[in-house]
């Protein structure tokens, strides 16, 4: 069976290394960035990042946001018997085009912004340019889609659409090992990790959520065994928000991440913890898996019951929760990586 693997991620995230791994395995290579460079040559422009970003945006505005993905797909369709790696995916519409290839899989790779900036500064020093931290920060903001049109670069959204996610904050060997697991898993040569199993269960429980704003699921596990689970919604025996005419927080205009006590619902993490209390299950030293970063109320409960580790997927903007987590040293907070289940 042929394989079509797309790569998305910010500058200095490790996409190039993943592409090289696949090329060494005989994959043919097509780069959306190379297509932009060819167009820049036609226009007589130098290959500066600003020029290339401008050309890419112009092409997407003129021919549609998915034009580069469509062109890459047309190249691949000339040889559907070969395996292909598609690099430089920066817009969701390109992903839409590439998903027309049967079996296409998108791998997202990223790292903490400070790590990315340090890598870019190091590359800059080695390359002899004088770009500063602020320059690279602005480039990352542009790639994230901040201030960009929907037809522009939207790497943050592309990462959210990935079928598999890798956090590249360690050594080259770590990155290669993580990517090797993806390849073996997709080929049926490896089993899912416990993190992948329990995060999939958390996403399954999220389907039971009755919250109108966000569907969250949580699982508490220890030593490879599930202990309890929960999802967010109104307390037992109480009408759901949809039955009460809508979300109370929306009616009151309360922004996300603030005034968590003004809500008819109970959060998934809280429900998982209270289920343990109800049935006398010891969850000290356990791991909590949640498809969303915990709010400050859940964070305080998690710390007090002695949960040892939290594995989360999507971020949640709650500065106080992050501040409290940054002040303690007992709970390990881990960004989930592996097979994604959010679509």
Torsion sign over Cα 38, 42, 48, 54: negative
The residues, ordered by sequence, that sit 6+ positions from 70 with a Cβ below 8 Å of its Cβ are 64, 94, 97
What number of CA atoms fall less than 13 Å from residue 36's CA on the CB side?
A: 27
Tokens of 21: 């791994």
Q: Which of 269, 323, 330, 337 is catalytic?
A: 269
Reduced to 3 states (helix: H, G, I; strand: E, B; else coil), residue 277 is helix
Q: Cα separations (Å) of 183 from 3, 38, 94, 178, 316?
A: 10, 31, 22, 9, 30
Torsion sign over Cα 245, 250, 256, 258: negative
Report the distance separating Cα 24 and Cα 22, nearest Å. 5
Q: Cα separations (Å) of 126 from 119, 129, 130?
A: 11, 8, 10
Closest CA to 113 of 7, 33, 11, 14: 11
Cβ of 257: how many Cβ atoms within 10 Å? 15
8 Å CB contact between 217 and 209: yes
Reduced to 3 states (helix: H, G, I; strand: E, B; else coil), residue 339 is strand
Write phi, then psi, for 237 (nearest 5 degrees): 80, 0
Q: Cα separations (Å) of 209 from 95, 169, 247, 312?
A: 28, 33, 14, 17
Q: In the annotation, is 269 catalytic?
A: yes
Residue 241: DSSP 8-state: G
Catalytic residues: 269
């Amino acid at each position: 069976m042929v394989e079509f693997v797309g790569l998305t991620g910010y500058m200095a995230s490790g996409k190039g290394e993943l592409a090289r791994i696949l090329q060494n395995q005989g994959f043919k290579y097509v780069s959306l960035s190379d297509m932009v460079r060819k167009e820049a040559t036609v226009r007589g422009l130098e290959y500066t990042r600003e020029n290339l970003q401008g050309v890419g945006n112009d092409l997407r505005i003129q021919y549609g946001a998915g034009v580069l993905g469509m062109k890459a797909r047309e190249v691949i369709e000339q040889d559907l018997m070969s395996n292909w790696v598609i690099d430089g995916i920066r817009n969701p519409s390109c992903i839409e085009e590439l998903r027309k290839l049967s079996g296409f899989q998108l791998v997202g790779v990223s790292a903490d912004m400070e790590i990315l900036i340090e890598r870019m500064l190091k590359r800059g020093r080695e390359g002899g340019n004088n770009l500063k931290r602020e320059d690279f920060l602005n480039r990352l903001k542009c790639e994230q889609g901040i201030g960009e049109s929907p037809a522009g670069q939207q790497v943050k959204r592309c990462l959210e659409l990935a079928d598999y996610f890798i956090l590249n904050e360690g050594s080259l060997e770590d990155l290669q090992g993580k990517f090797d697991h993806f390849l073996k898993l997709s080929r049926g040569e490896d089993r899912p990790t416990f993190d992948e199993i329990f995060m999939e269960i958390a996403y399954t429980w999220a389907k039971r959520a009755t919250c109108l704003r966000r569907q969250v699921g949580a699982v508490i596990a220890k030593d490879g065994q599930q202990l309890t689970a929960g999802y967010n919604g109104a307390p037992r025996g109480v009408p759901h928000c949809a039955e009460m005419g809508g979300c109370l927080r929306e009616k009151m205009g309360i922004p996300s991440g603030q005034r968590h006590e003004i809500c008819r619902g109970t959060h998934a993490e809280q429900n998982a913890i209270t289920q343990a209390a109800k049935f006398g299950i010891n969850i000290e030293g356990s791991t909590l898996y949640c498809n969303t970063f915990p709010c400050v109320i859940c964070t305080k409960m998690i710390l007090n019951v002695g949960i040892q580790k939290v594995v989360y997927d999507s971020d949640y903007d709650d500065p106080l929760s992050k501040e409290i987590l940054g002040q303690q040293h007992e709970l390990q907070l881990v960004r989930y990586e592996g097979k994604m289940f959010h679509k």
